[in-house]
Amino acid sequence: GVAMIYQELNLALHLSAQENILLGDESARLGWVDARASRARAHAALTLLGHETLDLDRPAGTFSIAEQQVIEIARALLKPPQVLIMDEPTSSLTQADTDRLFATIGRLRAQGVSVIYISHFLEECRRIADRYTVLKDGETVGSGAMADASLDHLVTLMTGREVKDLYPRKAHTPGAVVLEVKAAGGAPRLKRASLQVRAGEIFGLGGLIGAGRTDLLRTIFGLDDLEAGAVCVTGAPDADSAPRDRWAQGVGFLSEDRKEEGLMLNQSLADNLTLTKMDAYGRFGWISGGRQQQAARRWIGELRVKCREAAQPVGELSGGNQQKVALARLLEHPARIFLLDEPTRGIDVGSKAQIYQLVSELAAAGKAVIVVSSYLPELLGLCDTIGVMCRGELAAVRPRAQWSEADIMRVAIGRA
């Protein structure tokens, strides 16, 4: 009687929309799949969401993210549950789709279905919820009747703890502009973003999950296509924008998903650290393992990576030490512009403090750093300038002193 819609899409992309909706719950007759009944049920679930024209025979992977989200929701509604848990269900939906979803939730509620609705879009919560609970750092910090709670009160409950000595307080003196983004658009969630980053500056990017922060970094680095606007790296031709070109221009990218996109978990620390600079460790077409090991030991010492040896597989390290290895590769390259996507996600406090210190030292050495973070004290404690994204657009950019946690939240949810 419990159904859940996950924040991260969980579809079999090679199967059709109908097969995904009915997965594990196909209609059967005499031991065989009843194709007609199955199609009718899938169509009914989509009709409930106002998407009765969606092609049930198309592979799920060929649909847009928003359409994939609709398929995911339809699967959860195939059988009306007693309890429906929805985790950020509208992060990829248009306003029209959101309105249809809320109408469906209203009908389910009238039928006695209980709904747990998880969202950072506070206007949506006030529109749909009877009661609220705010969680922070795994603990309940407030709950009550939604009718008695103002948006400002909810924002106050969601803001983080005060910034203490965890963050370095070094004075940075930004120099010339080394990276300029002009009205960039084109990635799935990136509509329009303009910014300038200077040498010696730490530029923070805040916003809700799905607001386009990661898309912006990937577009700057050339992983996603730039369909509008321009990305200009000082001293580099505008036409050279592929990831290989960005590496050559001194731009380094740290993915938020270090296990899938940042590291080769079965390979050694030495292999991972020198991956983008193999030509410096080879001669006559052969890689010098000794020189690789020497470089790896240097970074292991400087960043205090806890490991047995440089030949140890990275997958055996803790999350914090894996992140240090991923960062060390950017330093070994070396980069002059660092794009860091959630650099402290899922790591211990001690490793966080080391990374904060490292980022501050990079800025003091004249490097430009862009940090994407969902943790507001991190943005306020570490960055010189903070920009906040809202639904695919860079909505505001200000010096750190002109921001508070509540201000960032208001801009992120479109309340500013």
Q: Helices (DSSP H) in 23-167: which residue ranges?
A: 35-48, 65-76, 95-110, 122-128, 151-158
* Average pLDDT over every residue of 18-36: 84
Q: Is the pTM of this model over 0.85?
A: no
CA 241 to chain CA centroid, Å, is 22
d(C-alpha 185, C-alpha 212), whole Å = 10
Pairing of strands 83-87, 114-118: parallel
d(CA 89, CA 25) in angstroms, rounded, equals 22
Q: What is the pLDDT of residues 100-136, one digit of tens each?
A: 888 888 888 888 889 999 887 777 888 899 999 998 7
Cis ω before 334 (30° cut-off from 0) = yes
3-class SS of residue 4: strand
The stretch 328-352 carries a mean pLDDT of: 82
Measured in degrees and rounded to the nearest 5, phi and psi for residue 9 equal -60, 140
Q: Determine the Cα–Cα distance for residues 42 and 70; give it in Å rounded to an integer.
A: 12
Domains of the chain in start order, with CATH, are: 2-118 (3.40.50.300), 177-412 (3.40.50.300)
Interatomic CA distance for residues 120 and 17, integer angstroms: 28
User: Over the stretch 146-175, which tens digit does the pLDDT of each residue have?
Assistant: 999 887 788 778 655 444 456 776 667 889
Give 24's pLDDT tier (boundaries 50, 70, 90).
confident
pLDDT of residue 201: 96
